[in-house]
């Protein structure tokens, strides 16, 4: 039973670290601000949620300590991180940052 929870929380932590790695490669590899922001705000949000869930499971089972702050942090990060990505992208668009030269659709262009 103990081994199952340990393996589960280790899997959660490894999954979160893997998603962080994916988002770091996304920053390096993707061509413009919007696609980079897409990589960062989605996969690193999910990565940090996995890491926090793994930590919560580990401390709850190993030490019998249910930390409400981690639950609050999960809710808070899940709620605010995509909004931060949205605001960064929007301010980039309104200050005239060019899209990648191979992108085909710009729905907001009419409203400029």
**Contact footprint for another protein (CB under 8 A):** 69, 72, 75-76, 79-80, 83, 86-87, 94, 111-112
Residue 29 vs 94, nearer CB to another protein: 94
Find the largest Cα–Cα distance for the chain: 59
Residue 10 vs 75, nearer CB to another protein: 75
Classify burial at 63, counting beta carbons within 10 Å of its beta carbon; exposed 0-12, middle 13-18, buried 19 or more.
exposed
Q: What minimum distance in Å lies between the beta carbon of 33 and another protein?
A: 19
**Distance separating alpha carbons of residues 14 and 83, to the nearest angstrom:** 26
Q: What minimum distance in Å lies between the beta carbon of 76 and another protein?
A: 5
Residue 31 vs 82, nearer CB to another protein: 82
Q: For residue 39, give the 3-state DSSP assignment.
A: helix
């Amino acid at each position: 039973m103990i081994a199952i929870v340990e393996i589960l929380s280790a899997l959660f932590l490894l999954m979160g670290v893997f998603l962080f790695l994916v988002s770091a490669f996304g920053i390096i590899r993707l061509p413009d601000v919007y696609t980079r922001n897409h990589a960062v705000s989605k996969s690193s949000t999910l990565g940090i949620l996995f890491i926090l869930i793994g930590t919560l499971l580990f401390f709850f089972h190993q030490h019998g300590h249910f930390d409400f702050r981690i639950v609050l942090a999960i809710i808070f990060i899940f709620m605010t991180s995509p909004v931060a990505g949205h605001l960064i992208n929007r301010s980039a668009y309104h200050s005239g940052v060019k899209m990648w030269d191979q992108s085909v659709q710009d729905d907001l262009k009419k409203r400029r």
